[in-house]
Structures are given as structure tokens and as C-alpha cells.
Amino acid sequence: MEKSLNWREFIITRLIKASGYSAILFVALIFIFLVREGVPTFVEVDFKSLTNIRWYPIEDYFGILPLITGSLIVTIGATLVAVPFGIGTAVYISEIAPRWMREVLKPLVELLGGLPSVVLGFLGILVISPYVRVFLDLPTGLTALTGSLLLGGIAVPTVVSVAEDALDAVPRAYREGAWALGATRWQTIWRVTLPAAKSGVLTGVMLGIGRAIGETMTVMMVTGNAPVLALKLGSLFSPVRTMTATIAAEMGEVANGSTHYHVLFFIGMVLFLISLGVNVAASSMVFRAKKRAERILS
Amino acid sequence: MKRALALNRHLVQRIGFTGITLMAVFTVIPIVAVVIYILVQGGPAISGEFITGFPHDGMRAGGILPAIVGTLYLTLGTAVFSVPLGIAAAIYLSEYAADTPLTRTIRIAIINLAGIPSVVYGLFGLGLFVLFLKFGTSILAASLTLSIMTLPVIISTAEESLRSVPQGFRTVSISLGATRWQTIRRIVLKEALPGIITGVILGLERAAGETAPILFTGAAFFLPRLPHSPFDATMALPYHLFVISTQVPEMPIKIQYGTALVLLVFVLTMNLVATAIRSRARAKRQW
């Protein structure tokens, strides 16, 4: 009896440990498979062609610059939307709203995070893009701007939840100290609470940007899918094509093992590395902030 | 002078508060508007035939049963893999792992899994499950891909919930002669259960609404019948909505909104259930 219990416990403990390590295994597997299918690109396409400004795979033009600039412009636009609204909402929820309002707002923002991106893309096509076209008097409403607006909305919940946590974690004594010195609530928020939560808020912004770069279905549906180099501000009002949308739109039609197939995996590899960079930077920022807080408080 | 300044401060505060409040309002209104708009526009499309019928006339008429059933299969398939694995990993992180470099690596890996773009998961699933392991474009391959994607959500919420169980519960149980695993299974898991279920549902909600990871791993454009085995491809609500709103010309708008509504209800129900479980557990908690 005693013995069998020990055995079971031993096996279960091993299984639990193995599951714990599985996250590392999966990240490694994802990277290995992206590299395995993506690296042949360097053999099949010369570097000059890869950094060209033409993406036209049917005629073997694999310039990924238009796709990178497309992703960039849409992401920058989304950031401009998500940062003020995300941080504003976080400040409102954490510092200004009465308690009942918080209880309503938090689940609502979470709900936005849970809306399928395909539903937002669908509404983008039918509702938002006609407005964009008419208001700005453009030939088409499927532009980088339309994508930016929707992506901004998609990134907002990430910014709000991380930034709100950070604001919540600022010790109450900080605020009380400021009030005692005669600061208004607004001055306290602006000069004490927000600076104290700076690293957490920045982490939220970075994770939001990460979310925006990686978003696929919405941008594929509403940005018009034209792989054109987007360098000027005016590009915001014309169709573009992002890296994610390119993979999603073209992977279904390529022959496995073809050059086009390898280039698409290569783009996936680039996206993986970008998200890796964003996340490592964001988590190291939190880690450093924690260290600093420990130093100050000890 | 001082008075003017003081007045000024309060004016600034009022302007600031109004601005921030407006921002929150402008963030929330579109969310509510999206839900209401789809309910209103999609409502008329819902009928018995729409829910239980097969699409016909090039998907321009009939129902969306195969897409509904497909999404159910994919969600369940995802649960089969991600729930045990995710909870076990959370138990490891909360109950066993010491703060070592290895544990920190695991945490960084989980954060990274959460940040990887969904379409990259699709590529990975295509490379590993569909081609390398030769599962083909199938429910199995899509579910496996989706379950790796949902793991970080499940792990982090479950871990948080396990950690919130007071240390005293464990100490008492162990001091009464229970083994570590008995303590975890009978005491810690039991107390943390509502939080874990919330995390699981939120993770599966993401899986149910995702399109990009299943594009090349298991989604079918159109199927005249329901899938028979895990090795069959399947239609799915999000992919179906994508198809009928971008790929099929002259698609009746009513069916598009109806499909969006069914998907939204599917996902929102999961969201509401998760939120309800969490708030009930919080209200009932005695520690």
C-alpha cells in the first residue's frame, strides 16, 4: 500500500515536471520548424532580390520590403490609437472611476479582448471602410488607416489590463503623501502615480504593439492587400499588405517545398523574432522595475 | 495670485478628468456598439434551418451546421490537449518550481508563447503536424496547433489561482500526514478550481474564435457532410465568416451577419460563464 502510493506519487510528480518544461519545448519546436522551412530562402533567393521593393511571387519577385513597411505603418497607426485610449482607460478605471463603474468596465474591456478578430475584420469591411472612403474621399476604404483603427481597438485591452495592474500596484501611501502635500488628485495622477507605474505602463504598451504586429485576420480583411512600398504619411490612406496577411493569404495556394513556400516561412521567422524581441524586452523591463522597487523599499 | 493659481489647479483637474473619462467612454462605446449591432443585424437570419441545416447554392443559402459543429469539435479537441497539460504546468510552477534560472526560462517561454502571432502558429502547425507528422489537414492537427496557442492563457490564470490558496492550507494538510500530491489534489486544486476553470474557458474562447492558426492546418472551405474522424478537415465558424465575407461574391448580407452573430454568441457565452464563475468564487471566498 505504502509502496504503491509512493510509486504513483513519483510518476505524477515526474509528469507534472515534464508538463512544466513543455513550454520551453514548444517555443524551441516552433523556432526549429520555422528555421527548417524558412532558411532555404537564403539559398534559393539572393539577398538583393529579398530586399527589393517588389513582391510578386508568381514572377519570382520576393522583395519583402513592402510587406515590412506595410506592417510598420499599420502598427504605428494602431499604436497612436491604442496608447492614448489604452492608458486613458487604465487611468480612468484605476484612479477615477467609482467602484461600481470599475466592475462594469473591466469585464467590458476584457470582452473586447475576446472578440474574434475575424468579426472585427468583417465589421471593418461592411461598416468602417465605407465611412473611411466617404469621409476622406478616397477611391477605396480598404486602407492602412482602416487597419490601424481596428488594430488599435484590438491592442487596447492588452494595454489597459497591463497598465491598470501597474497603476493598481502603486502603494497607496504614494498618493496619500501627494494629497497631504496639497496636490490635487489630477496632479497626483500625473506627477506621482503614472511616473511610479511607468515601467508597467510601458510594458503594456509594448505588449499591445506586439499584439498589433502579429494580428492577422483583421488586417488581411481591411487593408486592401496591395504589396506597395509604404514610406510616406500618405500611404496611410492607400491599401497596404502586412507580413501576417501575406502569409495567411498566400500559404494556402503555394506548393509545399517551393521557393514561395520557403519565403513565407522566412517571413514567419521574422515575425517570430520580432515577437520574441518585444516580449523579452517587456519582461526584462518588469524584472528591472521589480529589482528597483525592492532596493527602494529595503 | 495664489487664489487664481488654486482655481487654475482645479480647473486643470476638471479638464483632465473630463478628458480621461471621455477616453474611457470612447473605448467602451464601440465595444457595446459592435455587440448590439451584430445582434440587431444578425438576429433576423437566425432560424431553425440556419442552425441545423447544411449550406447550399454555393453557401448562399441554407444553414451553417457544419461550421458550428466544426468549431465545437475544434474547441473540444483543443481542450483535450491543452487542459491537462496547462493545469499540470501551472501546478509545477506554483507548487514545485524553485526560483532557479530554469524556472525563469520556463516563464520567459510562456510569455513568448503568448506573444507569437497566430498566423505563425498556423505555419508551425503546418510544418510539424500536417506535413512532418503527416496528420494532414485535419481536426487533429488544428486542435494541436490551437492547444499550444491556448497553453499560456491556461497556465498563467491557473497558476495565479493556485498561488492565491493560502500557504497555511498546505502546511496543515502536510502536517496531518498527507503527501505532497494528496495535498495538491485534495486541498489546493479543490480551492483553486473556480479560478482554473475560468482560465480554461478564457483559453478555449480564444481557440474558438481564431482563424489564422487553422487556415492551413484543418479548416475546409466547404464540406457537404460533417467530419467523421479526427483526421478529417472541418468547417469552422470563424473561417466560414472569413470565407463568406471575402471569398464568395454576391453573398447575401443576412447570412454573413447571421454567421457573425452565431460566432459572437458562442464566444460571448464562454466569456460570460468565465466571468460569472470568477466573480461568484470571489464573493464566496472566505480567506
The C-alpha angle with vertex A253 and arms to A214 and B113, in degrees rounded to 5, equals 25
Give the gap in angstroms from C-alpha B150 to the nearest C-alpha of chain A: 11
Residue B240, all three cell numbers:
466560414
Residue B54 has a CB neighbour count (10 Å cut-off) of 17
d(CA A279, CA A64): 24
Query: According to the model, what pLDDT value does residue B52 have?
Result: 81
Interacting residues of A126 by C-beta distance below 8 A, sequence separation 6+: B245, B253, B256
Tell me whether residues B20 and A88 touch, CB distance under 8 A.
yes
Concatenated DSSP letters for B216-259? TTTB-S--SS---STTS-B--HHHHHHHHHHTSTT--HHHHHHH
pLDDT score, position A295: 67
| A189 contacts in chain B (CB < 8 Å) | 16
Q: How many CA atoms lie less than 13 Å away from B183 in the CB half-sphere?
A: 21
* B133 phi and psi angles, rounded to 5 deg: -85, -5
Compute the residue count for chain A.
Answer: 298
Phi, psi (degrees; rounded to nearest 5) at B13: -60, -45
10-residue mean pLDDT profile of chain A (298 residues): values are: 69 88 92 90 79 78 84 90 91 87 85 88 89 83 86 90 86 88 87 86 87 89 80 78 89 84 91 89 76 65
Does the beta-carbon distance from B245 to A109 stay under 8 Å? Answer: no
Coil/strand/helix, residue A63? coil
- Give A277's contacts in chain B (Cβ within 8 Å): none
Give tens-digit pLDDT for B53-67. 888 777 777 778 888
- Interchain contact, B119 vs A271, CB within 8 Å: yes
Higher pLDDT, B126 or A235: B126
Whether residues B116 and A214 touch (CB distance < 8 A) is answered with yes
- Number of Cβ pairs < 8 A linking chain A and chain B: 261
**pLDDT tens-place string over residues A72-103:** 889 999 999 999 999 999 999 888 888 888 88
Q: Chain centroid to CA B176: how far?
A: 39
Q: What are the C-alpha distances in Å from B280 to residues A236, A296, B198, B233?
A: 46, 38, 11, 39
Predicted pLDDT at A1: 46
A123 vs B: CB within 8 A: yes
Quote the mean pLDDT of chain B.
Answer: 86
Contact residues on chain A for B89, CB-CB shorter than 8 A = 16, 19-20, 22-23
Q: Which residues contact B115 (CB under 8 A, 6 or more apart)?
A: A207, A210, A211, A214, A275, A276, A278, A279
Substitution target from B11, B92, B106, B119 for chain A, most A beta carbons within 10 A: B119
Mean pLDDT of B225-240: 85
**Chain B residues within an 8 Å CB radius of A37:** 123, 127
Which residues from B are below 8 Å from A211, CB to CB?
A: 115
The answer, yes or no, to whether residue B1 has pLDDT greater than 70, is no
**Nearest chain B Cα to A215, which residue?**
B117
- Name the E strands within chain A: 55-56, 61-62
Nearest chain A CA: its distance from B189 CA (Å) = 14
Q: Cβ atoms within 10 A of the Cβ of A179, count?
A: 14
Contact at CB, A20 and B89, closer than 8 angstroms: yes
Q: Which of residues 43-82 of A touch B (CB under 8 A)?
A: none
Quote the ipTM score: 0.88
- Residue A96, chain B, CB below 8 Å: the answer is yes
Residue type, A225: N
Residue A117 to residue B122, Cβ atoms within 8 A: no
- State whether residue A192 sits within 8 Å of chain B by CB: no
Interface of A with B in 130-149 (CB under 8 A): none
pTM of the model: 0.89
Tell me, yes or no, if A31 comes closer than 8 A to chain B by beta carbon. Answer: no
Mean pLDDT, to the nearest integer, of B84-92? 92
Determine the pLDDT at residue B78: 94
Q: Crossing angle for the helix pair A65-91 and A243-250, nearest 10 degrees?
A: 120
Distance CA A49, CA B278 (A): 54
For residues B231 and B221, give the distance between their C-alpha atoms in angstroms, rounded to a whole number: 16
Which of A37, A91, A248 is facing B127, going by the closest CB pair? Answer: A37
A265 touches chain B (CB under 8 A): yes
Cell triple for A20: 512544466
The pLDDT, as a whole number, for residue B142 is 93
Q: What is d(CA B182, CA B188) in angstroms, rounded to the nearest whole number?
A: 9
Contact A114 B88 (CB under 8 A): no
State phi, psi for B37 to the nearest 5 degrees. -60, -45
Three-state SS at A247: helix
**Chain center to CA of A41:** 26
Distance separating the N- and C-terminal Cα atoms of chain A:
50
Set of chain A residues whose Cβ sits within 8 Å of the Cβ of B238: 116, 118-119, 217
